[in-house]
Amino acid sequence: MDGLNLSSNITRLRHERKLTQEELADFVGVTKASVSKWENAQSMPDILLLPQLAAFFDVTIDELVGYEPQLSDKQIRHLYAQLTKDLAARPLHEVLGRVRSLAHRYYSCYPFLLQLVVLYWNHFMLAESEGEGRQILEEAVTWCDRILEDCTDVGVCSDAASLKAGLKLQLGRAAEAIDLLEPLMDPSRISGHNSAILIQAYRVVGEIDRAKMHAQAEVYLGLVGLVGDGIQLMSLYENDMERCAETIRRTGHVIEIYQLERLHPDLAARFYYQTAVVYGLNGKGQEALGALQSFERCVRRLLDAEEIRLHGDGYFDRLDAWIDRMPLGSMAPRDKSFIRQNIQEALRHPAFQELRETEGFQRIMHLQG
């Protein structure tokens, strides 16, 4: 029982509530000496007292005894995939009930709790009202707080902080997102050089395959970041066509050279979509339609695939091994049905008003997998 931390948990919970051993003993109906022995791990409460103690301290029995059920990476991926499919096929309130039940059951499995945050963020738009959507996001924030308060895994905590910032921004609390992220993005932080040090260390100890895997992963992540930042730049400068044209030219070359339409069609689709928006807002209808046709090509690649999965290619031949180590592996965070739904919403952008009646635009509007 010591391995379950029952004795230390009783002591901690009693101190948190500023109770004496006598007061706890009176409530449970035992002697002060019994409570003292529990806290000193000399004995343990009768099993029938555990529900009473848990209720008194307002915790679950698992939390009281210190039992922390953990899921394997494979189990986390399986549950996430199952929940994603359920969200596409079943009533939202029903699936949310199951999610909350799983969160309660595995409340100390922080990697799983982190993926439930990802699940909520990727699907909150299914809510029937804005208020319900905000409630879903707020619940995800509480899970981030749980992770940040109690998890000792630096990587999981870092991801939780990033997700919490994104959720805050989604909720309209941009200042809070800035407060969370500014310290992490400080260019003076030495941690920005960790990847180069790790790759070199692998070389020194002769683990060349792992060095190659991490080097390829860093290039891949750099490409994803570069294209993603290009999308943001176009959004920020959407009224400056000259600057946007140069961003489109440079980023487009990167997509072409690294064959990102095949390697990461979702990212390429988002780039072409933002390109189309910029052209449309600046009165360049033909260029906008051309960008939308490139967008259509990437989306069809996603919808025609048997499964949407992250993957490497002939150049990034070690990337699959790195992807397999990610929390969700190569699994896409959303089902195809959400891609179709997002397409319809995205194409309602005012930038495409002049294109709505054209044959090319109508074809894109009716994309099916």
Is residue 99 within 8 Å of 112, Cβ to Cβ? no
Sign, Cα dihedral of 123, 127, 130, 134: negative
**208 located within any domain:** no
Residue 55 shares a structural domain with residue 112: no
Is residue 83 within 8 Å of 103, Cβ to Cβ? no
Which among 150, 181, 212 is the end of a domain? 181
86 membership: H or E segment, kind and range:
helix 73-89
Q: How many CB atoms lie within 10 A of CB 368?
A: 8
Residue 60 shares a structural domain with residue 82: no
What are the phi and psi torsion angles at 11 (to 5°)? Answer: -60, -45
Residue 129 shares a structural domain with residue 16: no
Residue 87 shares a structural domain with residue 148: yes
What are the phi and psi torsion angles at 331 (to 5°)? Answer: -65, 140
**214 located within any domain:** no
**98 located within any domain:** yes
pLDDT score recorded for residue 261 = 96
Which residues in 78-102 are b (16+ Cβ under 10 Å) and which e?
ebbeebbebbbeeebeebbeebeeb
Which among 121, 156, 181 is the end of a domain? 181
Residue 61 shares a structural domain with residue 80: no
Cβ contacts of 200 within 8 Å, gap of 6 or more:
211
**167 located within any domain:** yes
pLDDT score recorded for residue 68 = 63
> In whole angstroms, what is the distance from residue 239 CA to residue 251 CA?
18
Cβ contacts of 268 within 8 Å, gap of 6 or more:
227, 255, 260, 261, 294, 298
pLDDT score recorded for residue 8 = 85
Q: What is the CATH number of the domain that holds 137?
A: 1.25.40
pLDDT score recorded for residue 263 = 95
| Tokens read off for 24 | 């706890």
| Tokens read off for 228 | 């993603």
Cβ contacts of 320 within 8 Å, gap of 6 or more:
311, 312, 330
Angle of helix 174-181 versus helix 154-170 axis, rounded to 10? 160
| Tokens read off for 196 | 């180069």
Residue 329: burial class (beta carbons within 10 Å; 0-12, 13-18, 19+): middle
Residue 261 shares a structural domain with residue 140: no
**356 located within any domain:** yes
pLDDT score recorded for residue 188 = 72
Residue 281 shares a structural domain with residue 351: yes
For residue 299, give the nearest of 328, 327, 270 by alpha carbon: 270
Cβ contacts of 363 within 8 Å, gap of 6 or more:
296
**210 located within any domain:** no
Q: What is the CATH number of the domain that holds 26?
A: 1.10.260.40
Residue 15 shares a structural domain with residue 84: no
Residue 253 shares a structural domain with residue 304: yes
Which residues in 294-307 are b (16+ Cβ under 10 Å) and which e?
bbbebbbbbbeeee
**229 located within any domain:** yes
Residue 45 shares a structural domain with residue 175: no
Sign, Cα dihedral of 22, 24, 29, 32: negative
| Tokens read off for 309 | 């999965």
Radius of gyration, CA atoms only, the chain: 26
Which among 65, 93, 109 is the end of a domain? 65
pLDDT score recorded for residue 268 = 97
**209 located within any domain:** no
> In whole angstroms, what is the distance from residue 28 CA to residue 45 CA?
10
pLDDT score recorded for residue 363 = 85
Is residue 246 within 8 Å of 352, Cβ to Cβ? no
Residue 56 shares a structural domain with residue 90: no
pLDDT score recorded for residue 179 = 93
Give pLDDT tens digits along the chain (369 positions). 334 678 888 998 999 889 999 999 998 899 999 999 999 989 989 888 999 998 888 888 878 887 667 888 889 999 999 999 999 889 999 999 999 999 988 888 999 999 999 999 999 999 999 999 999 999 999 999 999 998 999 889 999 999 999 999 999 999 999 999 988 777 776 666 788 889 999 999 999 999 999 999 999 999 999 999 999 999 999 999 999 999 999 999 999 999 999 999 999 999 999 999 999 999 999 999 999 999 999 999 988 888 888 899 999 999 999 999 888 888 777 777 777 778 888 899 999 999 998 888 988 888 754
How wide is the angle at C-alpha 176 spanned by C-alphas 174 and 183, nearest 5°? 110
Residue 59 shares a structural domain with residue 78: no
Instruction: Show the domain range for 18.
Output: 2-65
| Tokens read off for 184 | 């992490």
* Structural domain count, the chain: 3
> In whole angstroms, what is the distance from residue 321 CA to residue 330 CA?
10
For residue 236, give the nearest of 224, 247, 220 by alpha carbon: 247
